Chain A
Amino acid sequence: MGNHPRTQPLSDDALVLDVTTVAQLMPLHLVLDSAGKIISMGPTLRTVMGDGIGGKAFFDVFRVERPRHVQQIAHVRSRAGKKLVLAGQGVDGERVGFRAMPVLLSDDSLRVIIDLSFGENFAEAIARYALTSANFKPNDLSIDLLYSFEIQRNLLKDSETMADALKAAKAEAEDIAMRDPVTGLGNRRALQMQLDKALSGERGQGPVVLMMVDLDKFKEVNDDFGHAAGDIVLRHTATCLSELAGHEGFAARMGGDEFALFLRMDLAMIGAVSQQLLSAIASKISIDGIKYATSASLGYLSFEPGEDMSADQLLSQADIALYHAKGTDTRIAAVTPELLQRFGQQKALTLDVQRALKQEEFVPHFHPQIDMESGDVVGLEALARWNHPQKGVVSPAGFLDVAAKSNLLLLLDQQVRLRALSQFARLSRLLPDGATLSLNITAAKLRTDDFVSDLQREVKAAGLVPGQIKLELLETIFFDRNDCPFIHQCTALRQAGFGLALDDFGTGRASISTLIDAPISMLKIDRSFVTGIDQSDRLRQITGAIIRMAYHIRLAVLAEGVENAAELQVLSDLGCQYVQGYHFAKPMDATALALWLEQGGHGHAPSTPVVPD
């Protein structure tokens, strides 16, 4: 401190300030007399509150908002040097708030100076009363803060605008995520959320009906008219559902041509409402100027809010009803306990088939085919059987339908075919030269691009040649003679050396015309033309005609389902070359067949196994 000039305390005289100086130091001040009357005020306060407050009692002009107990002038004095929050009425008639600090004078006059500031209201006051820098003392930071706060407010406003934009974008993204873009309906996710919400509702609100709707033959619309036309059909359907859903219900497109709808309704009305919906969907719409009408199927169920079900369970059950509806005349079906039980059994069977495929439980049984003239076994038809660990041997009726519906048929076919090929290779030494293995082939398998090469590889791997294999094709496969790729595939099989037989002849959709182009070498006459042929002239005439026709176009003929000697005799008389049926033997597994063949092929009980698998 040594080099600094010595500071002297200010004398009382130095604190005597003139009015101008007081006004500059405290432009918002008040001076109260001993009775609390306003006797003077600063220039800025005059601008804000007007000259009219002069001479009035402090408490007639100002209200002390904090501390609330300050209600008398003595209280004001007692707050000297402390903060008060005041409010008064500005010249604009509106409330104006102040922060205040009472200052006592030392002249024993009991006068009080109250220094005011606008506090947190200063920006508002500047705007309302058109104040300028001159209204504040030169060293008042408020003016500087004004700029700072205005900038801060603008930044805050920008942030809020940005936050609003982000929220709107988020809401839009969520909406898109919940909406089907083609129809504008909710999507599967939205429906699940709505169902969850409905399920979590209070009991006693009344039943809710969930409908699943599927358009019939929608693929044809896309194929015939194009996808734009398909979209028109989808939007038309969506409109029908939306109108029914109204504001209370909810409609959604689940994907593809499947829709769902749920709404509260009187259960007695479900049938009529469902019919009404299907009729609306079936109403004609214009596609490229062409009137087009689609149709749909509908499955439904009802549930009560609060039920112990999940949205997935509801949708799954409604889907079962929808699937069932497709097979009914009305195209409408409800979920019933029986339907669910049947579906449960089917599902269990499907799982069992899947398991069995992994365990390789599907095996071939062989049904001998006999040459009428020599009595020799000239062929074996491989038939799929399921060696079930609990149920024993299960025939195709017990699994074929489920395997087909669950897209397991190709896999099952392959499992049986591969085993049939290897077992036939082992059995062939017990069969005459030229004996063939007949394999039933599905249309789906036959249409696969690699079928011919795959089969050649499989046959070769089993140590066989194509000439030992005859493929039995269901006659229904052939119904369209214009199916060039299919005919080409058959021709390729023939050229590779495989034999082709037309199975179940006489029962298909194009019996005679099929024979014009199909490159087959054998007809298998369906058992319905054989059973009882010894007792029916009409059957004898028809079957005889088939045999003669086959003879004239150089096709071998095999009659299926021969069950007794009388039927066999008639077929022999008609010139049938080959026969197959229980009269000779039932289908047998490889082991039993080997024994049967060893014992002369006359159906005697087998002895020891010859061809272990």
Chain B
Amino acid sequence: MYGMVNEGLRTFVEKEHGSDMWREVCDMAGVEATKFERMTSYHDAVTYALVGAVCQKTGKSADEVLQPFGSYWVDFAGQSNFGTFLRLAGNTFVERIKGLDDMHDSILLSMPHLKPPSFEIAEIGADTYELSYYSEREGLSPMVIGLLYGLAAETKEKIKVEQTVQKAAVSDPDVFEVTLLR
């Protein structure tokens, strides 16, 4: 995982619970560094350990931590150059979801070790979409839910997200039903 994700988690925890809490989280996770280089690749275990420690310290479940972090992530990443990439995809929620893979492809040019997730969205009804989320990583679907809400907030749209299929094997996607609320 690139350091930017860990940095996002740091600023999220510091914003919600203060910098002392973040130091305690790092201690508990056995992570020496309290800050991360955004473009440096860190082992995924670091991020999982940090999320686990946040759960323990706050007494919240992984879902309760990851979903708001997903929403926060859109804002956090949006403040960097990645925000520009995201806006290039379009002005609506659906356009931006469709542009996520292109954005990741573009980022891969400079960050070849990135193992980005993939999102496919298909219209299955009026204002209803099926979103398939592919990732080599486990347990991040709650973050995706938060991320979808965050993206919708960016384009000032309202959505309802429901996970319809849990990933069963590495190659299978998590599937979400996303309804645009008019």
Over the window 130-170 of chain A, the binary record of Cβ atoms lying under 8 Å from chain B Cβ atoms (1 yes, 0 no) is 00000000000000000001001100100110010000000
Q: Known: A160-B40, A163-B37, A163-B40. Is A66-B101 also a contact (CB below 8 A)?
A: yes
> How far apart sit A145 and B40, CA to CA, in the bound complex (Å)?
23
Give, as a whole number of angstroms, the nearest-CB distance from B103 to chain A: 12
Cross-chain contact A152 with B118 (CB below 8 angstroms) = no
Cross-chain contact B102 with A83 (CB below 8 angstroms) = yes
> Is B110 an interface residue, CB under 8 A from the partner?
yes
Cross-chain contact B105 with A68 (CB below 8 angstroms) = no
Q: Which of B108, B110, B120, B122 contacts A66 (CB 8 A)?
A: B120
Give, as a whole number of angstroms, the nearest-CB distance from A568 to chain B: 77
List chain A residues, Cβ under 8 A from B105: 85, 99, 119-120
Using a Cβ cutoff of 8 Å, how many contacts connect chains A and B? 28
With both beta carbons as reference points, the residue of chain B lying nearest to A153 in the complex is identified as B110
> How far apart sit A66 and B105, CA to CA, in the bound complex (Å)?
12
With both beta carbons as reference points, the residue of chain B lying nearest to A145 in the complex is identified as B109
Give, as a whole number of angstroms, the nearest-CB distance from B98 to chain A: 10
Over the window 31-58 of chain B, the binary record of Cβ atoms lying under 8 Å from chain A Cβ atoms (1 yes, 0 no) is 0000001011000000000000000000
Over the window 103-135 of chain A, the binary record of Cβ atoms lying under 8 Å from chain B Cβ atoms (1 yes, 0 no) is 000000000000000011000000000000000
With both beta carbons as reference points, the residue of chain A lying nearest to B33 in the complex is identified as A167
Chain B CB within 10 A, most for which of A66, A99, A152: A66
Q: Which of B106, B132, B134 contacts A120 (CB 8 A)?
A: B106
Give, as a whole number of angstroms, the nearest-CB distance from B27 to chain A: 9
Cross-chain contact A67 with B120 (CB below 8 angstroms) = yes
> How far apart sit A159 and B134, CA to CA, in the bound complex (Å)?
32
Cross-chain contact B109 with A120 (CB below 8 angstroms) = yes
With both beta carbons as reference points, the residue of chain A lying nearest to B132 in the complex is identified as A68
Q: Which of A99, A152, A160 contacts B110 (CB 8 A)?
A: A152
Over the window 71-90 of chain A, the binary record of Cβ atoms lying under 8 Å from chain B Cβ atoms (1 yes, 0 no) is 00000000000010100000
Over the window 307-324 of chain A, the binary record of Cβ atoms lying under 8 Å from chain B Cβ atoms (1 yes, 0 no) is 000000000000000000
List chain B residues, Cβ under 8 A from A163: 37, 40
Cross-chain contact A149 with B102 (CB below 8 angstroms) = no
Cross-chain contact B120 with A68 (CB below 8 angstroms) = yes
Cross-chain contact B40 with A66 (CB below 8 angstroms) = no
> How far apart sit A152 and B37, CA to CA, in the bound complex (Å)?
17
Give, as a whole number of angstroms, the nearest-CB distance from B132 to chain A: 8
Cross-chain contact A149 with B110 (CB below 8 angstroms) = yes
Cross-chain contact B40 with A149 (CB below 8 angstroms) = no
List chain A residues, Cβ under 8 A from B118: 66
> How far apart sit A266 and B57, CA to CA, in the bound complex (Å)?
34
> How far apart sit A83 and B120, CA to CA, in the bound complex (Å)?
12
What count of chain A residues pass the 8 Å CB interface test? Answer: 16
> How far apart sit A160 and B39, CA to CA, in the bound complex (Å)?
9
List chain B residues, Cβ under 8 A from A156: 39, 110
With both beta carbons as reference points, the residue of chain A lying nearest to B171 in the complex is identified as A68
Cross-chain contact B101 with A149 (CB below 8 angstroms) = no
Give, as a whole number of angstroms, the nearest-CB distance from A65 to chain B: 9
User: Within B73-131, which residues are at the interface with A (CB < 8 Å)?
Assistant: 101-102, 105-106, 108-110, 118, 120, 122
With both beta carbons as reference points, the residue of chain A lying nearest to B101 in the complex is identified as A66
> How far apart sit A67 and B120, CA to CA, in the bound complex (Å)?
7
User: Within A269-316, which residues are at the interface with B (CB < 8 Å)?
Assistant: none
Cross-chain contact A149 with B109 (CB below 8 angstroms) = yes
Cross-chain contact A120 with B120 (CB below 8 angstroms) = no
> How far apart sit A66 and B120, CA to CA, in the bound complex (Å)?
8
Give, as a whole number of angstroms, the nearest-CB distance from A166 to chain B: 10
Q: Known: A66-B101, A66-B118. Is A120-B108 also a contact (CB below 8 A)?
A: yes
Give, as a whole number of angstroms, the nearest-CB distance from B117 to chain A: 12
List chain B residues, Cβ under 8 A from A67: 120
Chain B CB within 10 A, most for which of A69, A120, A152: A120
Give, as a whole number of angstroms, the nearest-CB distance from A505 to chain B: 66
Give, as a whole number of angstroms, the nearest-CB distance from A194 to chain B: 15
User: Within B134-177, which residues are at the interface with A (CB < 8 Å)?
Assistant: 134
> How far apart sit A163 and B102, CA to CA, in the bound complex (Å)?
30
With both beta carbons as reference points, the residue of chain B lying nearest to A200 in the complex is identified as B27
Give, as a whole number of angstroms, the nearest-CB distance from B10 to chain A: 18
User: Within A555-601, which residues are at the interface with B (CB < 8 Å)?
Assistant: none
With both beta carbons as reference points, the residue of chain B lying nearest to A123 in the complex is identified as B109
> How far apart sit A309 and B102, CA to CA, in the bound complex (Å)?
56
Give, as a whole number of angstroms, the nearest-CB distance from A612 to chain B: 61
List chain B residues, Cβ under 8 A from A149: 109-110
List chain B residues, Cβ under 8 A from A119: 105
Give, as a whole number of angstroms, the nearest-CB distance from A199 to chain B: 13
List chain A residues, Cβ under 8 A from B120: 66-69
> How far apart sit A345 and B39, CA to CA, in the bound complex (Å)?
59
> How far apart sit A152 and B106, CA to CA, in the bound complex (Å)?
14
List chain B residues, Cβ under 8 A from A120: 105-106, 108-109
List chain A residues, Cβ under 8 A from B102: 83
Give, as a whole number of angstroms, the nearest-CB distance from B16 to chain A: 25
List chain A residues, Cβ under 8 A from B108: 120
Give, as a whole number of angstroms, the nearest-CB distance from A153 to chain B: 8
With both beta carbons as reference points, the residue of chain A lying nearest to B105 in the complex is identified as A120
List chain B residues, Cβ under 8 A from A160: 40
> How far apart sit A159 and B111, CA to CA, in the bound complex (Å)?
14
Give, as a whole number of angstroms, the nearest-CB distance from B75 to chain A: 26
With both beta carbons as reference points, the residue of chain A lying nearest to B104 in the complex is identified as A120
> How far apart sit A206 and B82, CA to CA, in the bound complex (Å)?
51
With both beta carbons as reference points, the residue of chain A lying nearest to B120 in the complex is identified as A67
User: Within A154-205, which residues are at the interface with B (CB < 8 Å)?
Assistant: 156, 159-160, 163
Sorted from nearest, which 8 A-B pairs have the closest CB atoms? Answer: A120-B108, A120-B109, A120-B105, A67-B120, A149-B109, A66-B101, A163-B37, A119-B105
Beyond A66-B101, A85-B101, A149-B109, 15 additional contacts (C-beta under 8 Å) are A67-B120, A68-B132, A69-B120, A69-B122, A83-B102, A85-B105, A119-B105, A120-B105, A120-B108, A149-B110, A153-B110, A159-B39, A160-B40, A163-B37, A163-B40
Name 20 interchain pairs, CB-CB below 8 A, sorted by A. A66-B101, A66-B118, A66-B120, A68-B132, A68-B134, A83-B102, A85-B101, A85-B105, A99-B105, A119-B105, A120-B105, A120-B109, A149-B109, A149-B110, A152-B110, A153-B110, A156-B39, A160-B40, A163-B37, A163-B40
